[in-house]
Amino acid sequence: MPTTSTRPTEGTDADVPILAGAVSGFIAAGLALGVAELLAGFTTSVPPIIESVGDYVIENGWQTLDNWSRETFGSGQKRALVTGITVASLVIGAITGVLSRSRPIVGPVVFTLFAVVGGLAATQDELANATGGWIVSIVAGLAGMGALALMLRSARHITPTSDSTSRLSTFVSERRRFLTTSVAAGFTGLFSAMVGNSLRQQRNIEADRAELATQLASTDAASPATALAPSGSLDDVPGISSLVTSNDDFYRIDTAISPPLLDPDTWTLSIDGMVDDPYELSFSDLLDMDVVEAPVTLSCVSNEIGGNLVGNAIWRGVPLIDVLERAGVHDDATQIVGRSADGWTAGFPTAAASDGRTALVAFAMNGEPLPLSHGFPARLVVAGLYGYVSATKWLTEIELTTWDDFDGFWIPRGWAKEGPIKTQSRIDVPRRGDRITPGPTAIAGVAWAPTRSVGKVEVRIDEGSWIEASLSDELSDESWRQWFHEWDATPGDHVIQVRSTDGEGETQTAELADPRPDGATGWHTVAVRVED
């Protein structure tokens, strides 16, 4: 009499439970991203796929997303964008795993698209090697495709189909196999990402910055940082912004997901365009020129009223006019264009290099070499102009052209071509919504009007009379000033406002305007409650 075999059938991906399919796709996507990070860690010419895609998003027309993320996350925009792309990739992977149960072609198609998107994004990155970018993307896509197929196969028998001892044993065995495969694939992806990130960190510029710091210690400056120390500051007022913003606290807004890594030994700055004698400067050439140091407040045009996208630092570098005069600028050259190593551009009037304001090819910030995130090894600093038209980081080229012949990165995206910084003031303490006790209370903050100076700052409570506040010493007419007023707080709800008047007698307007297209306007206002 024939016996019936209890050996389980081979099964298909359609037998995989939905949850197992989602887990398979999620982990496969994570593995693909990890492999991409690992491979990118072995080369300086290929960024991780997520960073390439993020750069592409910023630079190629997703304006609504870019504006929203900039306004929402401020200096944390890059981190938020990378996180968002990572999460989206993992979610798409999970969906792919579920769909692949009944449609096996979905996995190969999605991971092929993954590779194509990564490769195309890499080709748009001016610092990336296109061929290397395609190789990394294809290998990562194949890794994800293979991981998904392997995990789905291991999950075909994790649901028991009968009560027979044999099938139950198979279920336990296959479930263990699936869990083991999932853990192994997940760990491989995570480990790959960690190793890749570590390799990239080992190539950071801290060693170069340390070596440069030694050189800078012997570099003469017209105004040493020690002479500009904020002895007349209001730094002792709790909660007020420091007169000089530390490098760690200085805001960062740019389009680079990951700052370019530039070796100062091979870095060059080219000066070309409408000049008599185009030439290139090495970093040692730059250090050999006459060096100056000056406190300058920089602000992002997207800074909201009361926002923190503004900072004051002491910059050291070579006057831009000295760099330009060596090339011989044509009389009809009316625009200076700065180009970053990552392709970003900004343009401002040629006159800004010679009208008396501070305009530097800067290589140091607050007495130390530029931090990587602030433009190492060299950047432009131009007093009185918003960063989007002037403050080119990771500077590699200065081109002289006409005002009408070129638009910087942000101009076609709806921002004004001219970007003078508006007179502004901010209340640092108390903060909106604070609950404070009655009696003497510090109202304090900062005000700025670079190139025009801050003449006075006034405060009012509950739309009463304007009261002139005390001011810190002025480091320069290009630097912000701290202000302070002691208020005898009485119980109840109160509204505090501030306004400043520049050195030319112009008081900042009360009219509210959004940052777009040329900077926000209005008086910073905070509401507080005083209670026993």
DSSP string of 386-452, one letter each residue: -HHHH--SSEEEEEEE-TTT---TTTTTT--S--BPPPEEEEEESPTT-EE-SEEEEEEEEEE-TTT
Query: Are the beta carbons of 460 and 507 closer than 8 angstroms?
Result: no
- What is the token pair recorded at 28? 């496969």
401, HSE (Cβ side, Cα atoms, 13 Å): 15
pLDDT at 263: 86
Dist. CA 448–CA 502, nearest whole Å: 8
369-374: Cβ within 8 A, 24+ apart: 369/209, 369/212, 369/213, 369/216, 370/209, 371/209, 371/247, 372/204, 372/205, 372/209, 372/259, 372/261, 373/252, 373/259, 374/247, 374/250, 374/252
Q: Match 């944390």 to its residue by tokens.
A: 76
Contact 19, 27 (CB under 8 A): no
CATH 3.90.420.10 corresponds to the domain 216-401? yes
Q: Is 383 helix (H, G, I), strand (E, B) or coil?
A: coil
Q: Write the burial class of residue 506 (CB in 10 Å: 0-12 exposed, 13-18 middle, 19+ buried).
A: middle
Q: Which contacts of 43-47 are long-range, i.e. CB under 8 A and separated by 24 or more positions?
A: 43/129, 43/132, 44/203, 44/261, 45/127, 45/128, 45/129, 45/132, 46/122, 46/128, 46/129, 46/132, 46/133, 46/136, 47/122, 47/125, 47/127, 47/128, 47/257, 47/258
The alpha carbon dihedral of 410, 414, 418, 420 has a sign of: negative
d(CA 428, CA 445): 5
Residue 529 CB coordination number (10 Å) = 14
Distance CA 245, CA 222 (A): 21
Residue 15's pLDDT is 73
Give the span between the Cα atoms of 70 and 79, in whole angstroms.
11
Distances (CA, A) of 390 to 63, 114, 301, 336, 356: 21, 36, 11, 9, 16
- Domain extents in the chain: 13-202, 216-401, 424-530
CB 131: neighbour CB atoms within 10 A?
13
Kindly give, in sequence order, each residue whose CB lies less than 8 Å from that of residue 60, ignoring residues fewer than 6 positions away.
Answer: 124
Rounded CA-CA distance 131/122 in Å is 9
Whether the model clears a pTM of 0.75, i.e. scores above it, the answer is: no
User: What pLDDT, on a 0 to 100 scale, did the predictor assign at position 223?
Assistant: 46
Please count the other Cβ atoms lying within 10 Å of the Cβ belonging to residue 102: 12
- At 347-369, the pLDDT tens digits run 999 999 999 999 999 999 999 99
| CATH code given to domain 424-530 | 2.60.40.650
Distance between alpha carbon 394 and the CA centroid of its chain, in Å?
13
- Is the Cβ–Cβ distance between 343 and 362 less than 8 Å? no
**pLDDT attached to residue 204:** 62
The three-state DSSP-derived secondary structure of 50-74 is HHHHHHHHHHCCCHHHHHHHHHHHH
How confident is the model at residue 280, as a pLDDT?
A: 97
pLDDT single digits (tens) 31-77: 888 888 888 777 766 777 777 777 766 666 555 666 666 666 655 66
Burial of 439 (0-12, 13-18, 19+ CB in 10 A): exposed
Contact 196, 40 (CB under 8 A): yes
Helix axes 165-202, 18-41, angle to 10 degrees: 30
134 CB neighbour count, 10 Å cutoff: 18
The sign one gets for the Cα dihedral 378, 382, 385, 389 is: negative
Secondary structure in 3-state letters for 396-410: EEEEEECCCCCCCCC
What is the radius of gyration, based on Cα positions, of the chain?
A: 29
| Integer Cα distance of 160 and 339 in angstroms | 63
Regions of the chain where pLDDT drops below 70: 1-14, 44-45, 56-78, 125-128, 157-174, 198-204, 218-231
435: which residues sit within 8 A by CB, 6+ positions away?
Answer: 528, 529, 530, 531
Q: In whole angstroms, what is the distance from residue 388 CA to residue 483 CA?
A: 27
Strand partners, 317: 292, 362
